[in-house]
Structure 1
Amino acid sequence: MTEGKRVAARIKRICAPLLALAMLLSACAGNETGDQTVNSEQNGTPAQTRPIGDATADPEAATPCIVQTRFETDDVVVADVIATAARFGADPSGEQDSTAAIQSALDECAAAGGGTVWLPAGQYRVTSGIKIPAFVTLRGDWQDPDEGSEYGTVILAEVESIDAPLPALFTLGGSGGAVGLTVYYPEQDLGDVKPYPFTFYVNGQGADYMLQTVKNCTILNGYRGLGACVAEDNAHEMMTVDTLKGTLLHVGAEAYNQADVGTWKNVDLGGRFWAAAGEAYNAPSVEAIEAYTRANGTGLILGDLEWTEFYNLKISGYRTGIEIVKGKRIQFAGSLYGVWISGCQTGLRVSSIDARWGMLVACGRIEGTEYAVDNQTRGVVKLAGVELGGALNGERRIRQDESGTALTLPNAPAAPNKPLNHLYVVSADRSGAADTAPAIQESLDEAGRTGGIVYLPAGKYLLETPLRIPAGVELRGCSSVAAREQSGLSLGTVLLAAYGETAAGSDPAEAEALITMTGENAGVRGLRIFYIRNDFTEGVKEYSYAIRSRHDGAYAVNIGLTAATYGVDFRGSDGHVINKLVGCCYRNAILVGESTGGVIEGCLQNGTAIYRNGLDVGYPRDEATIWDQLFDPVTRLETVYIRLENAADELVFNTFAYGVRTLAEAEGCENLRLINIGADNLGSATPLLKTAGGSVTAVNMMRYNGKSYENEGSRLAIFNRITIGAATEQTVIEP
């Protein structure tokens, strides 16, 4: 028996007592407070009710269903497919090879139009690469490695050791995701380090071009972590990284050739993750691991990423913490907020960058025994609120903010309130041919009596009348991650909006929305809305807002919103959350105000969302016409992407818009914070940020054209602003 096999055997012995319990809890069951799961195939009629801890609960349960996780999640997990079901046969004991079983489950989910494949807590042997198809998420039960070493769903990567980027362990399709997985390489040995291809990979080809997500994943002892377009000349767009932790012996992440803006949040790389795993995972000491990585490893290698936004990065014990390298198509430009690099020879090395401007780094500390920052280029590295522990190289191109203002990392935004574990699965036409609003509303009304989730499996749902979501109810589509149209492929859950055009003389901003939340803690998640009768080439129609709430705790998470005149209106909602709203709105995408403590995160507007649809609704498809048809005559003249009115303590971060009039307009907002914001091809001579009254702080602001800001009476501070051709713009403090 090899050492790797012995390690795998130890894992099985140690974890075996937990497996039976895990399998019970991972099947369709309610929550710990005794709430029951209602899996309603007929609207409002419980088709299946199962109490907590029911021993009959098993992987053969009817799906879609809610699964109870062993570890806390920020949402309720709804599974469309369970990979341990007998027809697939994924083995949570780790004895049998589960590669084919997991792939079969993923393929079945894709054939049904997309959704979530659930992989319960356990250990799963994987011996070759797995492809996660477009619009499908592989989701496991994840324990944060900083909170324990049970881990939940563990992938035992018993793949061939080769020193090459590919074949990856997991290759992600567009609008697909890897969520809640912990990966361990049983054959890895610090005394005889073995190279492996990437653990997670984005190739940017065809329907795999854009908006892949890696979330809540741990790589205990990988060699190459996350890769994007490393081995080929393809491009990719909008890759989302949200909480990736691990020990990577060669490189934590390496990415090239990204067009539209990606977002990275909570990336933590260092030797402590493998070291803390203990004997069951053949763990060396953290000192031994970081002695190796300090001599051989790099935390992040970043090539030609356009405007990518990074938030909360921690990198420890590498030869180089972050290295900016030559791109394949262009050169790197991006914003980093909250950067802590320690124990490295060089903290930040810039080997190649777009010399017309550069990169922004704010808040944190960068250390290096050789150099804290080594800028070998003619581009600018702008620093604000960053402590430096080490020498600088290329000091003339390293600009430090001299205002003396201390910048801090805001508290992690709270997740929306989770609904109760009651599930109502809507049975309605999924072809887009018949109005489904009455059937959906019937389920929403039923859920209003209990709280819970109204679930729309993958399909196209025509809405000719409006929907109302009661308090404590979530309208949920099939996506566990952000999604949008993929080069003519439009799978997942899509609402075809045919309601909301207002009469002449009325105010569309105040007319009834397509979806209205009628009480607190209601929301929408995991679906897309496409207005099928609002073709901009025929003149923008005056539709009302797509989504509205006047109640606290409203949320819109992982929502595609396309060809809407107006988007989300959360005026009056304290503690609202808008996360990963992507698409294109003609007049205004987000409106908030008269509220406290809201969060707008990871949102993006680009008109390509219209052109790349596969819904056969008659809109233009030739992107060569997008400037003449959409950007110049419509959005660059009219679109105020985010409007904020008398909002207090609002946080906007990792947010970008292409081809709009202004990114954000704020009036009377106190303590408004904007972090990592950008806009490309703004309207002619219009500002990225427009403020009036109140107090506003912006950090890390990137733009291609137009003006940084216009201010009428706000207490305004802007740190780290940069423009192509104007890399040395100064800090703004007004008045």
Structure 2
Amino acid sequence: MSAQRRALAQASLALILAAVVVLGALSSPGTAFAEDPQPNWELIEPKYPSADTFVAAYDVTEYGAKGDGAADATPVFQQLLDSLGRLGGGTLFVPEGKYAIRGNLYVPKGVSLRGEWKKPVKGEPIQGTILMAYAGRGDEEAPPLLTLESSSTVRDVAIWYPEQTPDNIVPYPPAIVFGKPNVFGNEFNNAKNVTLVNAYSGIVFSRVNGGTGPVVSDVYGTPLSRGVEIDHIVDVGRIERIDFSPAYWAGSGLELSPAPGSAYADWIRERGTGIVMRRNDWSYTSFVTIEGYNIGFHAAPSIASPGAIPNGHNYGLNLIGCRTGIFFEGVSGEGIMFTRVRITGAENGITVGPGTAGAIQAYGVEIDAAKDAISVDPTSKTRLLLRESIVKSGKVAIGGGTFSASDSDFDNAAPQIAVGEEARSLLTANRFKEEAGIDNRSKYISVIDHEPLAAEKLPAFPEIAAEIRLPARMALYVATDAPFGAANDGQTDATAAIQAALDRAGADGGGVVFLPPGKYKALGRLVVPSGVELKGAVDSHTVPTGKGSVLETYAGRGEPDGEPFLKLVSGSGVRGITFNYPEQTADQLPNIAAYPYLIQAAGSGVYIVNVAMRAAYNGIDLFTHRTDGHYLDFVTGHVFRSGVKVGGGAQGGKIYNLQFNPINYAAGRESKFGGWPNSPAGDNKAVYDYGYENLDFLTLGHVEGELLYNNFHYGSARGVVLIGENGQGPSGLSLGLGVDGAQKAMVFEGIGKNGLPFINSQIVSIGGGEKTRYVETSASFAGEAVFYSADFWGNPAYALELAGGTLALRLAHAGNAGQKGFSLLRGGTLLLDQASIGSTRALVNADRAPSLFARASITDMGGVNLRQAGEWKHNLGNIVIAAPSKPAEASASASPSPSGTSEVAPAASGDPAAREEGGNAGGAWIAAIVVATAAAIGVILYLTRAKKRKAASRSDSD
């Protein structure tokens, strides 16, 4: 930057700041009193490695911010942030340095505050951009350091409280709060690549301004009281790649940093919580490390929304040296999943608190605890399902509810499991380092059998990191500048100007074609050459909220098979742009016009990142051409007919963080979603109805090695559809799929030879109509659909309809098992392996009992002739039934009946000792059905036998 330009920039801001000083008593942080400085769009090449490119409008050091750790930079920061807000969004660059922030900062809608960040390493000094926070000492309720509005971002910074002393920790307000008070909307705020050196509280979602979609990723450091707290959200959040430990502050190299392991570490272990999850509406938590806190993960009732309890997907948690690894103060009836969790060096591993009722699915969990590895309060009615897990040390004390453990290793001291009077157990195929000892004091029927069973193992899923996707050359082409001159007024056709910039970048060997904020009318179509990135001003994880660079597309109306609007050639990409179809007005519904796909990948190595769309007829085409190595991350918004369709034999593709919801169009006139004139002016029911009857969200054809990660959609006719192409189907792996509000949530018509297992899925069908299903397989489907830990809920007519192939549900929970019945089998096979199925009229249609295989599950046997079932082994019903007599010894195993079941039914209906678990409705009639069925098929009742069995040897034992 030349000295002359720097001087001009500083003079420009000086005029603004002078006006603020004169009128400061009458002003608010968002008020301007002078002309905003002209943006100087610059492609920044940060000092430290980055996964992406970014274009900044302003550099704070060019406007007087010193970065010397002394001069208060608050006024400069705030004025430039406000200017960007008025500009329509963009990035404020904060180069490496120490910036004293003695006030508070508000990040307006669509604005990013971005520094230079080096991923911290424990024991090494913090480097990069450091924000020094001073305000609010001693007052946890004071305004936070940073308050974010919708679609705004803070990233690539470290936050340090210089006056926080390790030997006398005092409260401060949170470092970052998502949601500005008295502002309508709190949608899709981002905190990425942030080091919380010693914040009292780290990142908190506002309790007074509810909203949706918070994104917290790559956050490290030593938050003292709480690291991340989520509450008051009504649509999916994402918390990923988190690492909190006392070691970061100690090794920071900053003034007053503590000695490792000193008093501050004891303070954190007595009072600190890594993640507090309250009302979270399905949120994803992935790849998290919490070390040395009082509680690693706290599932707690909502404060802002009384009665709400967290559910969601949790994967890859590493909880080290915490007093309690996971504490459940509340448990969702829809279920909450924890998969691949390691709890080491804890006092207590998993604690389920009093009065809880719901389902916890723990898959692949390892626990090493000094006291209780697992404890459940006697007043709890929770179903705790444990599978493929290892208890290395600590007691397993089940005071209440139902404890189901299968295919797990108990290396702790005998008695390895203690079941109290108010609990029951379903223990099958487990292994024990010592002789098995089950202290079974339960008043209720239980199943205990250590006989080994063959079962498929949980697939390994790779750790997901931010993908490095860059253009071939670091060169910037601003489309609105000469010689291109693209208009961003929404009135003048900008197609030719933008294409000219793209072609120039391609001819030069690659680069970034940048669209400053505004609306670009596009009557034609665009092609992005190889090595070129088309980039907008709001390059953050967000849905369409009106800010940033908007391409308004007109081409292809009435031509669904025509050329796409945007074609990506091999090695090209698009980032940070919102696409809108202005002529798709809501008053046309249900006769909305057909268009071709919005974006088509025409070769390998394409990337589509932080792209939002609205009113699109068809979204992303990854099937017309072979698109090896395609990469989608945070593609969001609304489509009418087809969201993303992938196939064509593509190999090694990745589709991450899709987030689609018709609300982005249905409520688009609201200011928080951008005030779009093509959205409904009043009743928006037609928008939801159209999607519910017509939309296929994600279609998977012939792909190999496809990786799906934390993809979510609400409101479709068919959520995810797996199809065959020329006799070949999709193969790969999915983690964290969420399909909500669908008519048919999952449809299997084809699958590849290597399969496509689904891990940690939430599948919801609503509406209750005749066609509603969680999962459906077609008659042509001949493969196996497998779910490892899944929650099914809503109100379908039938939960499942299988016409072909096999559906395997392992560690699944279906709180609502279907209005008419759980499964309608017309030709397929159903395997329930340690599943929890709520009350329903019929588990399966009676004529298809031989196609049902159920073991180690909690389910009613209504409609099932147990003698005819393909397998019915070691199952318990939803009704908790008193045992006729107490087991003779502490260690026991269940004796199978002639039908292959070890379930015991009551002798008579109306038994006062029988109760329904978990608050399921219809307990009385279910009990009657159980009794009637038992009488009809002549089930012999067997008490749990007093018989000790030696543990089955583990194949990998030393």
CA deviation profile, 1:662-699 (whole Å, cap 9, x unmatched):
2222234454211111122111xx13353512101101
Structure 1 CA distance for aligned equivalents of residues 357 and 166 of structure 2: 39
CA contact (8 A) 2:722 2:730 kept: no
Q: 1:523 to 1:142 in 2, by over 3 A?
A: same
Equivalence for 2:231 = 256
Residue 106 in structure 1 maps to residue 175 in structure 2: no
Structure 2 CA distance for aligned equivalents of residues 191 and 696 of structure 1: 53
Higher deviation after alignment, 174-183 or 381-390? 381-390
CA deviation profile, 1:474-498 (whole Å, cap 9, x unmatched):
1100013123344xxx121111111
CA deviation profile, 1:288-347 (whole Å, cap 9, x unmatched):
543221111111111111111111111111111111111132221111111111211111
In the TM superposition, what is the alpha-carbon distance from 1:280 to its structure 2 partner?
4.4
CA contact (8 A) 1:413 1:599 kept: no
CA contact (8 A) 1:453 1:475 kept: yes
Structure 2 letter corresponding to 1:647:
V
Q: Pick the aligned partner of 1:332 from 299, 303, 310.
A: 310
Equivalence for 1:157 = 133
SS for the counterpart of 1:85 is helix
Equivalence for 1:439 = 497
Structure 2 letter corresponding to 1:176:
S
Equivalence for 1:646 = 702
Structure 1 CA distance for aligned equivalents of residues 202 and 833 of structure 2: 37
In the TM superposition, what is the alpha-carbon distance from 1:380 to its structure 2 partner?
1.1
CA deviation profile, 1:19-46 (whole Å, cap 9, x unmatched):
xxxx99xx99xxxxxxxxxxxxxxxxxx
Q: Pick the aligned partner of 1:704 from 746, 755, 764.
A: 764
Q: 1:304 to 1:176 in 2, by over 3 A?
A: same
Q: Pick the aligned partner of 1:534 from 561, 584, 591.
A: 584
In the TM superposition, what is the alpha-carbon distance from 1:243 to its structure 2 partner?
0.9
Structure 2 CA distance for aligned equivalents of residues 663 and 521 of structure 1: 29
Equivalence for 2:45 = 68
In the TM superposition, what is the alpha-carbon distance from 1:211 to its structure 2 partner?
0.6
Q: Pick the aligned partner of 1:476 from 529, 532, 535.
A: 535
Residue 393 in structure 1 maps to residue 375 in structure 2: yes
SS for the counterpart of 2:757 is strand
Give me the TM-score of the superposition, normalised by structure 1: 0.86
Equivalence for 1:345 = 323
Residue 630 in structure 1 maps to residue 630 in structure 2: no
In the TM superposition, what is the alpha-carbon distance from 1:502 to its structure 2 partner?
3.6
Answer with 1 or 2: which has the greater Rg: 2
Structure 2 CA distance for aligned equivalents of residues 434 and 522 of structure 1: 26
Structure 1 letter corresponding to 2:501:
S
Equivalence for 1:318 = 293
Structure 2 CA distance for aligned equivalents of residues 103 and 568 of structure 1: 38
Structure 2 CA distance for aligned equivalents of residues 108 and 502 of structure 1: 41
SS for the counterpart of 1:405 is coil
Query: Kindly, what percent of the aligned residue pairs are identical?
Result: 26
Structure 2 CA distance for aligned equivalents of residues 287 and 264 of structure 1: 29
CA contact (8 A) 1:693 1:714 kept: yes
Equivalence for 2:813 = 728
Structure 1 CA distance for aligned equivalents of residues 265 and 321 of structure 2: 9
CA contact (8 A) 2:583 2:678 kept: no
CA contact (8 A) 1:717 1:732 kept: no
Structure 2 letter corresponding to 1:551:
G
SS for the counterpart of 2:655 is strand
Equivalence for 1:17 = none
Residue 570 in structure 1 maps to residue 650 in structure 2: no
Q: Where do 5+ consecutive residues of structure 1 fail to align? A: 1-22, 29-59
Structure 2 CA distance for aligned equivalents of residues 177 and 456 of structure 1: 19
Give me the TM-score of the superposition, normalised by structure 2: 0.66
Q: 1:523 to 1:339 in 2, by over 3 A?
A: same
Within a 5 Å distance, the mapping from 1:491-506 to structure 2 comes to 491-503=547-559
Structure 1 letter corresponding to 2:186:
Y
Structure 1 letter corresponding to 2:813:
T
**What is the alpha-carbon root mean square deviation over aligned residues?**
2.4
In the TM superposition, what is the alpha-carbon distance from 1:544 to its structure 2 partner?
0.5
Within a 5 Å distance, the mapping from 1:135-284 to structure 2 comes to 135-146=110-121, 149-203=125-179, 206-230=183-207, 232=208, 234-278=209-253, 280=255, 282-284=257-259
Structure 2 letter corresponding to 1:596:
Q
CA deviation profile, 1:259-279 (whole Å, cap 9, x unmatched):
011111101111121122136
Structure 1 CA distance for aligned equivalents of residues 512 and 274 of structure 2: 40
Residue 292 in structure 1 maps to residue 267 in structure 2: yes
Structure 2 CA distance for aligned equivalents of residues 245 and 500 of structure 1: 47
SS for the counterpart of 1:696 is coil
CA contact (8 A) 2:316 2:339 kept: yes
SS for the counterpart of 2:503 is helix
Structure 2 letter corresponding to 1:71:
Y
Q: Normalized per residue, which structure has more strand? A: 1
In the TM superposition, what is the alpha-carbon distance from 1:207 to its structure 2 partner?
4.7
CA deviation profile, 1:88-112 (whole Å, cap 9, x unmatched):
x111112210011111111111111
SS for the counterpart of 1:583 is strand
Structure 2 CA distance for aligned equivalents of residues 166 and 547 of structure 1: 46
Structure 2 CA distance for aligned equivalents of residues 616 and 722 of structure 1: 35
Q: 1:194 to 1:100 in 2, by over 3 A?
A: same
Structure 2 CA distance for aligned equivalents of residues 264 and 216 of structure 1: 12
Structure 1 letter corresponding to 2:179:
N
Q: 1:481 to 1:91 in 2, by over 3 A?
A: same
Structure 2 CA distance for aligned equivalents of residues 168 and 384 of structure 1: 38
Higher deviation after alignment, 725-734 or 316-325? 725-734
SS for the counterpart of 1:438 is helix
Equivalence for 2:340 = 363
Structure 1 CA distance for aligned equivalents of residues 108 and 78 of structure 2: 9
Structure 1 CA distance for aligned equivalents of residues 254 and 69 of structure 2: 17
Higher deviation after alignment, 457-466 or 159-168? 159-168
SS for the counterpart of 1:461 is strand
In the TM superposition, what is the alpha-carbon distance from 1:732 to its structure 2 partner?
9.2
Within a 5 Å distance, the mapping from 1:488-637 to structure 2 comes to 490-503=546-559, 508=560, 510-518=561-569, 520-538=570-588, 539-571=591-623, 572-593=626-647, 594-610=649-665, 611-613=667-669, 614=674, 616-622=676-682, 625-626=683-684, 628-632=685-689, 634-637=690-693
CA contact (8 A) 2:476 2:511 kept: yes
Q: 1:424 to 1:281 in 2, by over 3 A?
A: farther
CA contact (8 A) 1:347 1:368 kept: no
CA contact (8 A) 2:88 2:517 kept: yes
Q: 1:716 to 1:166 in 2, by over 3 A?
A: farther
Structure 2 letter corresponding to 1:678:
G
CA deviation profile, 1:518-552 (whole Å, cap 9, x unmatched):
3x210110010011112354122110011111211
In the TM superposition, what is the alpha-carbon distance from 1:388 to its structure 2 partner?
2.4
Equivalence for 1:690 = 748
Structure 2 CA distance for aligned equivalents of residues 150 and 315 of structure 1: 19
Higher deviation after alignment, 308-317 or 466-475? 308-317
Structure 2 CA distance for aligned equivalents of residues 689 and 134 of structure 1: 38
Structure 2 letter corresponding to 1:514:
F
Structure 1 CA distance for aligned equivalents of residues 224 and 790 of structure 2: 35
Equivalence for 1:36 = none
Greater relative contact order, per chain length (Cα 8 Å cut-off, separation 6+):
1
Equivalence for 2:60 = 83
Q: Paired residues, what number? A: 660
In the TM superposition, what is the alpha-carbon distance from 1:149 to its structure 2 partner?
2.8
